[in-house]
Amino acid sequence: MEMGTLSEWIAATAETLAVIVALFLPYYTQRQERQRRKKRFKKIIQQSLANFAHGDLSGRDDFQSFVKISSLLEIDEDLLAILQIGDAAIDLMGTTSSLTQQQQQQLIELQQQLRLV
């Protein structure tokens, strides 16, 4: 039985690797993009919650728009869980111009929940 030349083996190995990469590269890049989005969403919500907990409510309208639009467009359950924390913060703050001590404490608790997601 003839095994073939070394160049044929290298060519066959290269073709096999090309097929494997072609099959799994889209999945890998999609997963990486999802991880980047998750990290971005967490960072935006974490920073906003920290600002709100310190009494800076100036970005509340922009934050509310971000959460609502992102919630409508997003289908990934992990990202929706992060956005639900942002939505809970919006509900907690309501339309008041300043936060009570209890509301600030609840925002800090939401920050802790966000770290666990």
Q: How far apart are CA 17 and CA 32, in angstroms?
A: 21
Contact 53, 107 (CB under 8 A): yes
**Overall pTM > 0.75:** yes
Tens-digit pLDDT profile for residues 42-76: 999 999 999 988 888 888 899 999 999 999 998 88
Q: Where are the domains of the chain?
A: 37-116
